Amino acid sequence: PYSILHFDVLLLDVWNPEDGVQINTYHTPGNCSRKVEVSDYVRYHYNGTLLDGTLFDSSHTRLRTYDTYVGIGWLIAGMDQGLLGMCVGERRIITMPPSLGYGSNGDGSDIPGQASLVFDVVLLDLHNPKDGISIDNQVVPDNCLRKSVAGDFIRYHYNGSLLDGTFFDSSYSRNRTYDTYVGKGYVIGGMDEGLIGVCIGERRRITIPPHLGYGEEGTGTKIPGSAVLVFDIHIIDFHNPSDKVEISTTYKPEACETLTKKGDFVKYHYNASLMDGNFIDSTYNYGKTYNIVLGANQVVPGMEEGLMEMCVGERRHLVIPPHLGYGERGVDGEVPGSAVLIFDIELIEMEVGLPDGYMFIWNDEVSANLFTEMDADKDLQVLASEFTDYILRQVNEGKGRLAPGFDAYRIIENMFSNQDRNGDGKITEEEFKLKADETSHDEL
């Protein structure tokens, strides 16, 4: 009864019934635009230990965040309280007594009854189900003549990250823009909304809650479920499928009477670029003009239209939508697909063409002895060489005229083939007369 007792004691835990949640914030991000409030949905990582440091759980070992609503009873009371007021990127230690944890019974496995709990938490993401997208305009061009609307087709670059800054995708890494219609459901809802009302050249940050992004499931790879998305975008260009060529005259000579039309042979200079100012090409670099026949489909339709009804010396600024330019495919290595084109053009020279449908016309009355004059050797048949020599002589003497801008010998070859009905390489007087009698005959 008079024994002395010795106890070797190791204190594992201590708490008081009056204790509440203790919060120790050991890292606060420099930018904290929003803090966790009741009913917010959060994504966070944690290490959970007992007061003596024994680890009982960690989200890090599962390689996925813990995702939950805050302040509405989905968590133990201490965590419900401890997460309030946190910023994305903030790190804090939340210590709670058992009355705000798992109580007298523990969790039945790793957490004993009456245990204080310590959670080392880092907040990665937060949003509220009532959230819409948020837009931060970073660069808005001073000259914004047009803003995107639903139904426009837009080309833009983007960097995509999670709310904690984790990168998940970038169009820059693929060295090509992301091209899509807006306002028609071709992209996630938040991006569909965030791309409305932008200017060409504008840069903006679009923050998208998960219900307007990839939802609870995420993408299964780089974007986790219920993740807020942050897109930094740069608008390269946009157009509408109903757009026409925009033509602005920047200079017109005082004497401007003869205007270009279909069939005319024109020579012009141009500087070509994309809507974002990226250079494409310039005839000035080559020291020579670009020469075409209007209406012969030798250039894109938008350029053809932009060159009509010009006078020599006139300058124009053309904006050509892709459906009147190089279309969805573009030009490999030069013009991206679906790109709007900018041309500054100057008409240098023009030669009036022939009436529509004609490749050769007579300037004088047609000789009544046309076949006889062509038949140089008087053998009652005209060979290709005789035919060619005769037509060229009429052109050189000013009696006839070939369509400008085309290969003269190719035109004459086609004319000969039209007369040589049986394809035997020569024209007889009978063939020639029959051909000459046709009312639809264009050349002879």
CATH 3.10.50.40 fits 22-127, yes or no: yes
**Topology agreement, domain 134-239 and domain 246-351:** yes
Separation CA 15–CA 101 (nearest Å): 12
Query: Could you give the angle at which helices 408-419 and 429-436 cross, rounded to 10 degrees?
Result: 100
Please tell me the class of the 360-436 domain: mainly alpha
Residue 434 host element (H or E) = helix 429-436
Helices (H) and strands (E) in the chain, counts: 8, 22
**Concatenated DSSP letters for 371-390?**
HHHH-TT-SSEEEHHHHHHH
Nearest CA to 376 among 365, 392, 364, 400?
Answer: 392
Q: Splitting the chain (444 residues) into consecutive groups of 10 residues, what average pLDDT does each group show? A: 90 92 96 95 97 96 95 96 97 97 93 96 96 94 93 97 95 95 96 96 97 93 94 97 97 94 96 94 96 95 97 97 96 94 97 89 86 91 93 92 92 91 90 57 52
Nearest CA to 31 among 205, 202, 172?
Answer: 205
Tens of pLDDT along 120-161?
999 999 999 999 999 999 999 998 989 999 999 999 999 999
In the CATH scheme, what architecture does the domain 134-239 have?
Answer: Roll (3.10)
Q: Hey, what's the torsion of the CAs at 321, 325, 326, 328, to 10 degrees?
A: 30
Contacts of 235 (CB under 8 A, 6+ apart): 148, 154, 155, 156, 195, 198, 199, 200, 201, 202, 203
Buried b (16+ CB within 10 A) or exposed e, 100-129: bbbbeebbeeebbeebbbbbbbbbbbbbbe
pLDDT at res. 357? 82
Tens of pLDDT along 4-56?
999 999 889 999 999 999 999 999 999 999 999 999 999 999 999 999 999 99
pLDDT at res. 367? 83
CATH number (3.40.50.12280, 1.20.1270.10, 3.10.50.40, 3.40.50.10320) of 246-351 reads 3.10.50.40
Instruction: Domain ranges for the chain, please list them.
Output: 22-127, 134-239, 246-351, 360-436
Torsions phi, psi of 142, nearest 5?
-65, -40
Letter for the amino acid at 343?
F
185: left (phi over 0), alpha (psi -120 to 50) or beta: left
Two tokens, residue 194: 């965030």
Separation CA 74–CA 128 (nearest Å): 15
